[in-house]
Amino acid sequence: MRSHWKKQVIVLSSPGRVSSKMQQLILPVLLASFWTICTGSGDWCYQSQFTCDHQCNAPDKWNHAQRDCGGNHQSPINIVTRKTLKDERLTPFEFNNYQQIFRDTIKNNGHSVKVGVPHLSTISGGGLPSTYKAVQFHMHWGNNGGPGSEHTIDGEQYPMELHIVHMKNEYTDLTTALSDPEGVAVLGFFYETSNSANRKYDPITNTLRSIKTTNSNTSLPSISLAQLIPAEQNLTSFYRYNGSLTTPGCNEAVIWTVFENTIPLSVDQLRVFSELQFHDGKPMVGNFRPVQPLNGRQVFRSGGAVILVSSTLLLAAIATALGLSQPN
Provide Rg for the chain, Cα atoms.
Answer: 24
What is the nearest approach in angstroms of Zn ion to the Cβ of residue 233? Answer: 26
Q: CA–CA distance from 184 to each of 44, 87, 131, 300, 306 (Å)?
A: 22, 21, 10, 18, 26
What is the nearest approach in angstroms of Zn ion to the Cβ of residue 162? Answer: 8
**Contact indicator for 115, 96 with CB cutoff of 8 Å:** no
* Residue whose CB is less far from Zn ion, 201 or 256: 256
**Contact indicator for 109, 214 with CB cutoff of 8 Å:** yes
Site residues (vs Zn ion, CB under 5 A): 163
Please tell me the distance from the alpha carbon of residue 163 to that of residue 288, in angstroms, as a whole number.
Answer: 12
What is the nearest approach in angstroms of Zn ion to the Cβ of residue 104? Answer: 17
* Residue whose CB is less far from Zn ion, 236 or 287: 287
What is the nearest approach in angstroms of Zn ion to the Cβ of residue 271? Answer: 20
* Residue whose CB is less far from Zn ion, 141 or 171: 141
* Residue whose CB is less far from Zn ion, 107 or 163: 163
* Residue whose CB is less far from Zn ion, 40 or 149: 149
Name the nearest CA neighbour of 164 among 215, 110, 235, 221.
235
Please tell me the distance from the alpha carbon of residue 27 to that of residue 34, in angstroms, as a whole number.
Answer: 10
Please tell me the distance from the alpha carbon of residue 194 to that of residue 264, in angstroms, as a whole number.
Answer: 5
What is the nearest approach in angstroms of Zn ion to the Cβ of residue 82? Answer: 26
170 Cα distance to chain centroid: 25
* Residue whose CB is less far from Zn ion, 40 or 142: 142
What is the nearest approach in angstroms of Zn ion to the Cβ of residue 12? Answer: 46
Q: Is 138 a catalytic residue?
A: no
- Cβ burial 81-98 (10 Å sphere, 16+ → b, else e): eeebeebeebebbebebb
Q: Which residue is nearest to Zn ion (CB)?
A: 163
- Output phi, psi for 174, to 5 deg: -65, -35
Please tell me the distance from the alpha carbon of residue 287 to that of residue 262, in angstroms, as a whole number.
Answer: 19
**Which among 73, 111, 140, 166 is annotated as catalytic?**
111
**Contact indicator for 68, 289 with CB cutoff of 8 Å:** no
* Residues taking part in catalysis: 111
